[in-house]
Amino acid sequence: MIHSMTLNSNEFESIKNGIKTREYRLYDEKRQQLKIGDRIEFFRLPNMDESILTKIEGLLLYKNWYSCYEDFFEQDLIDHYESIKMAVQDTYDNWWSKEKEEKYGCLIIKIKKID
């Protein structure tokens, strides 16, 4: 199965260049459909005129963003945030509310770019 998702330009480039191998998402109804071995086609925002196909290699579920970010903070987030708490606050401010976090939980999707 192929799923579709969007990414901002910086994140899109990181996947395109093989740097980014994990995508952090809310574990909402859409993401609950994901299975290991499925594919995700990521589209570049804002125009969605370019896409990258990836394969799902792993799915890690978490109750909250803090525990989600804690596992890979050093590898994925330390260049963007001074602390895990700052990353969590940015998520609440710009992406998903605390209420949605409590309702759905969080997900790390381990991906591999398909050439």
**Which pLDDT tens digit goes with each residue over 45-73?**
999 999 999 999 999 999 999 999 999 99
In whole angstroms, what is the distance from residue 54 CA to residue 28 CA? 20
Q: Which of 12, 58, 13, 51 is nearest to 35 (CA)?
A: 58
pTM over 0.85: yes
**Which pLDDT tens digit goes with each residue over 81-92?**
999 999 999 999
Residue found by looking up tokens 């381990």 in the block: 110
In whole angstroms, what is the distance from residue 63 CA to residue 51 CA? 30
Give the fold, CATH level 3, of 2-113.
2.30.130
**Which pLDDT tens digit goes with each residue over 13-46?**
999 999 999 999 999 999 999 999 999 999 999 9
Q: β-pairing, 39-44 with 51-62?
A: antiparallel
In whole angstroms, what is the distance from residue 84 CA to residue 71 CA? 10
